[in-house]
A = this chain, B = another copy of it.
Amino acid sequence: MTTRQWVYRFGGGSAEGSADMKNLLGGKGANLAEMSSLGLPVPPGFTITTELCTAYYDAGEIYPEELSNHVENALAFIEENVGAKFGDPRDPLLISVRSGARVSMPGMMDTVLNLGLNDITVKGLAAKSGDARFAWDSYRRFLQMYGDVVLGVEHDNFEEIIDTQKMMKGAALDTDLGADDWKAVVTGFKERIEDETGNPFPQDPREQLWGAVTAVFGSWQNDRANTYRRLHNIPEDWGTAVNVQAMVFGNMGDDCATGVAFTRDPSDGRNAFYGEYLVNAQGEDVVAGIRTPQHLTVSGKEEHGSDLPAMEEVMPEVFQQLNDVRLKLEKHYRDMQDIEFTVQQNKLWMLQTRSGKRTAKAALKIACDMVDEGLINQKEAISRVDPESLDQLLHPTLDPNATRDLLTRGLPASPGAASGTVVFSSDEAESRTADGEKVILVRIETSPEDIHGMHAAEGILTSRGGMTSHAAVVARGMGRPCVSGAGDLRIDYETQTLTVTGRQISAGDVLTIDGSSGEVMIGEVPTLHPELSGDFATLMAWVDEVRDLKVRTNAENPFDAKTAVDFGAEGIGLCRTEHMFFDAERIVAVREMILAQDEEGRRKALDKILPMQRQDFIELFRIMAGKPVTIRLLDPPLHEFLPHTSEEMQQVAMASGVSVEDLRVRAVELAEANPMLGHRGCRLGVTYPEITEMQARAIFEAAVEASKYADAPVEPEVMIPLVSDKMEFDLLRERIDEVAATVFQETGSEVQYLVGTMIELPRAALCAGEIAEGAEFFSFGTNDLTQTTFGLSRDDTGGLLKEYERRGIFETDPFVTIDVGGVGELVKIGADRGRKTRPGIKLGICGEHGGDPTSVNFCADIGLDYVSCSPFRVPIAKLAAAQAALRLRG
């Protein structure tokens, strides 16, 4: 009977596994095998496969019979390679046991070192190393780790015994304890283990080994690991591997060391060897932070102003070996590596290599440099940069070296850092900015009437509202830093102050906010400004060559539109005309329109709005000449535009000649229990056709006008929102076409245009085949589609969503990353049915998901033509689109 190979050996210049066997050997095991095959100095060892883990659980936590033979043979291989025997009283082989899943997973058993020591072999180790303190220290370390992670004895137990020993000896540090002290500690440890577990500590090295292996496999199914897997969608049957490896010691004397390094600088990406080491230490000592690690290189030491000697100076030969390893690994892996090493008596041993984590800046530089160096090609460079991380590069950041006086923390609602004087109203924000001042707008929450203040301010701070609150969404759209929902803030508009736990800030004081971290600081903290040329420009040029998805922007005003074009936007995917209605000059006319008793009254008010709306469109068309501009007709329910305060009521009453009392009655009439599901979108156009007519006229007159001056064709795309049925669409399209024909006749010139719809209701997706008979494009409005598919309002369930994420019910906020299983299926249904009716129908997505890399990926999968996102996310969407294109081409 043939059985599977449960055990893979490595070491001594060869290996049974390789780096591409991560699924079977786990990340750590695969890379140990790879380094071995490369001829790098890797302590010999073997990996028990992830398949064994699965088989073990499938069989009811029983190992296959043949496993112990496989392990024995592999152990013999290590013994032969090292030249020492496991359990040999004179020269014992010591081993480490480590877990290693495909992806690293918190909550699992990590590491047991020095396994193989017992009351007898410890003496052999002492004799062989000539260092009794080292031997007893190693034994106590083993007892401590094994007791904790394998036998489940709380680590306090062990620390308490060490502390007692130190007190008895009047010792301050571990290093003050000698061989006898550690021997006494060992005795204490063994007693405590027996007390706590009811069994003596296992002296048999093989029992120790199987105990550790079983503990690793057991930890795959503990509560923390299960929760983590559920939250991160990691299948249970991936299993974990176990790595068993000969020990090497960095703590056998001053010719020993241990360290971690990156093959390049992970903070800025420079091609400089970067790392730290400790002489005479084990790996855990580096992590524990008791001793200050030293730099590897002289330049590193100088750069960080350290006065401890660099490895380059202390162990020049070993350093040279390490540097050779570094170059070999980079050439082989063609990526920056994060490595661990140990030097035992001047001999270098490599314990780990893996791709290193890096900042966005570093990722960009490394990717570009490696193309220059011929290590990778442009396509690989594209796939090396995390799109989301670009966000860091597009906004000002706080100088990391500056001191900060942290006031409080809110939600990181819109990235970037900004400083300014505190103002509490949008009008003041505008007037102070006009005087050349930089301001931070502080509000309990913002509403559409704050748009001008938000535009004027350097940054926005609110005490209420989540990541998708008005403040957050609008600020992201504008690229303004925003901290929202800083719940500790007590804002008092009357006294013009804000208070946090006793500290009071008044209007005129200076604050700094960091919308990337959610931090709010007192005073001005210096910021660093983004550099959009250089590597960034290089990468984006490569990105533009490979991606298939077009990237447009959501923009209503010339400033945002220009910003987006600078970032490479290929058109406007969503111009929300209602944003144009809130302008102080027009809101009165808009309110007059809403309050009109009849069509005639409405038309009179609409005539006042027409020229303003037309002017907006002319500017947008000129900025976007040669690129499509999708203009969405009025979407929100009318009551959103009604005056709220008594003052506003008075103002509108005077302007419109309607009494305040009538105004109030009308407001009550228009009020809705669930406005999101109310009289809005195309329903307004169906019931008040004159609104649609005015907007269509503004669009077409503007298109004709802009065409006169533009050096490329103007491409208006009229978008009808909230359609649920083909007939609604057809009715409004007919009206729009009529207006277009009239305008073209009046002006004597024609402009090509499209009429399409937002697919933002489940029914629209299901009936997309019929709707596409008349619609020339679809833009999937996944914000609203998510709300209706889940029956979940963004405005009301911010707290609930957090709770759901915490409990692992939702993996991610479905308003941030598209819910592929539900909303995504509807988008796919809509796209498929639309294309079936009208092959080649233009398909896009607008709203928050358009700038989310995972969602962009999904859009590429289902073959949409474009995504549209806020200006500052255009580069992110482009990079994500390029990565998706590369992935889809295989």
Interface residue? A389 (CB, 8 A) = no
Q: A686-B807, A788-B791 are in contact. Are A821 and B727 (CB under 8 A)?
A: no
Interface residue? A207 (CB, 8 A) = no
Give the interface segment out of A187-195, A450-458, A580-588, A668-676.
A668-676
Interface residue? A733 (CB, 8 A) = no
A800 to chain B, nearest CB (A): 6
Question: Interface size (A, Cβ < 8 Å)?
Answer: 47
Q: Tell me the complex Cα distance, A808–B766, Å.
A: 20
Q: Tell me the complex Cα distance, A790–B784, Å.
A: 11
A13 to chain B, nearest CB (A): 50
Among A674, A789, A825, A826: residue with most chain B CB under 10 A = A674
Q: Which residues of B contact A791 (CB under 8 A)?
A: 676-677, 722, 724, 760-763, 784, 788
Interface residue? A499 (CB, 8 A) = no
Which B-chain residue is minimally distant from A722 (CB atoms)? B791
Which B-chain residue is minimally distant from A809 (CB atoms)? B727
Interface residue? A431 (CB, 8 A) = no
Interface residue? A170 (CB, 8 A) = no
Q: Tell me the complex Cα distance, A334–B406, Å.
A: 90
Q: Tell me the complex Cα distance, A826–B762, Å.
A: 9
A647 to chain B, nearest CB (A): 22
Interface residue? A51 (CB, 8 A) = no
1/0 contact trace for A702-744 toward B, CB 8 Å? 0000000000000000000010110110010000000000000
B826–A724 contact, CB under 8 A?
no
Contact with A822, one of B676, B722, B724 (Cβ below 8 angstroms): B724
Q: Tell me the complex Cα distance, A673–B797, Å.
A: 10
Q: Which residues of B contact A683 (CB under 8 A)?
A: 797, 800
B784–A724 contact, CB under 8 A?
no
Q: Tell me the complex Cα distance, A674–B673, Å.
A: 7
Q: Tell me the complex Cα distance, A675–B800, Å.
A: 13
1/0 contact trace for A796-838 toward B, CB 8 Å? 1100100110011110000000010111011000000000000
Q: Which residues of B contact A679 (CB under 8 A)?
A: 796-797, 800
Q: Tell me the complex Cα distance, A684–B661, Å.
A: 39
A731–B809 contact, CB under 8 A?
yes
B809–A686 contact, CB under 8 A?
yes
Q: Tell me the complex Cα distance, A784–B788, Å.
A: 10
Q: Which residues of B contact A808 (CB under 8 A)?
A: 727
B677–A677 contact, CB under 8 A?
yes
Q: Which residues of B contact A727 (CB under 8 A)?
A: 808-809
Interface residue? A200 (CB, 8 A) = no
Q: Tell me the complex Cα distance, A819–B803, Å.
A: 35
B766–A821 contact, CB under 8 A?
yes
Q: Which residues of B contact A796 (CB under 8 A)?
A: 672-675, 677-679
Which B-chain residue is minimally distant from A677 (CB atoms)? B793
Contact with A673, one of B676, B687, B761 (Cβ below 8 angstroms): B676
B784–A763 contact, CB under 8 A?
no
Q: Which residues of B contact A810 (CB under 8 A)?
A: 725
Interface residue? A792 (CB, 8 A) = yes
Name the interface residues of A285-328: CB closer than 8 Å to any CB of B. none
Q: Which residues of B contact A793 (CB under 8 A)?
A: 672-674, 676-678
Q: Tell me the complex Cα distance, A789–B788, Å.
A: 7
Q: Tell me the complex Cα distance, A97–B796, Å.
A: 66
Which B-chain residue is minimally distant from A230 (CB atoms)? B727
Among A677, A679, A725, A761: residue with most chain B CB under 10 A = A677
Among A687, A763, A808, A819: residue with most chain B CB under 10 A = A763
Name the interface residues of A137-167: CB closer than 8 Å to any CB of B. none
Q: Tell me the complex Cα distance, A788–B762, Å.
A: 7
Q: Which residues of B contact A225 (CB under 8 A)?
A: none
Interface residue? A557 (CB, 8 A) = no
Q: Tell me the complex Cα distance, A788–B676, Å.
A: 10
Q: Tell me the complex Cα distance, A766–B784, Å.
A: 17
B767–A822 contact, CB under 8 A?
yes
Q: Tell me the complex Cα distance, A789–B796, Å.
A: 19
Contact with A825, one of B760, B766, B803, B807 (Cβ below 8 angstroms): B766
A616 to chain B, nearest CB (A): 27
Contact with A804, one of B672, B686, B722, B795 (Cβ below 8 angstroms): B686
Q: A673-B676, A677-B676 are in contact. Are A763 and B789 (CB under 8 A)?
A: yes
A537 to chain B, nearest CB (A): 42
A762–B822 contact, CB under 8 A?
yes
A354 to chain B, nearest CB (A): 32
A787–B731 contact, CB under 8 A?
no
Q: Tell me the complex Cα distance, A731–B804, Å.
A: 11
Q: Which residues of B contact A819 (CB under 8 A)?
A: 763
A763–B823 contact, CB under 8 A?
yes
A789–B803 contact, CB under 8 A?
no
B677–A725 contact, CB under 8 A?
no
Q: Which residues of B contact A728 (CB under 8 A)?
A: 809
A767–B677 contact, CB under 8 A?
no
Q: Tell me the complex Cα distance, A180–B795, Å.
A: 82
Name the interface residues of A1-47: CB closer than 8 Å to any CB of B. none
Q: Which residues of B contact A724 (CB under 8 A)?
A: 789-792, 822
Q: Which residues of B contact A761 (CB under 8 A)?
A: 789-791
Q: Tell me the complex Cα distance, A727–B808, Å.
A: 8
Q: Tell me the complex Cα distance, A503–B85, Å.
A: 111
1/0 contact trace for A765-798 toward B, CB 8 Å? 0110000000000000000100111111101110
A208 to chain B, nearest CB (A): 39
Q: Which residues of B contact A763 (CB under 8 A)?
A: 789-791, 819, 821-823
Q: Which residues of B contact A762 (CB under 8 A)?
A: 762, 788-789, 791, 822, 826
Name the interface residues of A495-518: CB closer than 8 Å to any CB of B. none
Q: A761-B789, A788-B762 are in contact. Are A809 and B725 (CB under 8 A)?
A: yes
Which B-chain residue is minimally distant from A810 (CB atoms)? B725
Q: Tell me the complex Cα distance, A788–B791, Å.
A: 6
B766–A687 contact, CB under 8 A?
no
A780 to chain B, nearest CB (A): 14
Given contacts A725-B810, A763-B790, could you give 14 more A-B pairs where the C-beta distance is less than 8 Å? A672-B793, A673-B795, A678-B797, A722-B791, A724-B789, A727-B808, A728-B809, A731-B807, A762-B826, A763-B789, A763-B821, A763-B822, A766-B825, A788-B789
10 CB-based A-B contacts, threshold 8 Å: A672-B793, A672-B796, A677-B792, A677-B793, A678-B796, A683-B800, A725-B809, A727-B809, A762-B789, A766-B825
Going nearest first, the 5 A-B pairs with the smallest beta carbon separation are A677-B793, A763-B822, A674-B793, A762-B762, A678-B796
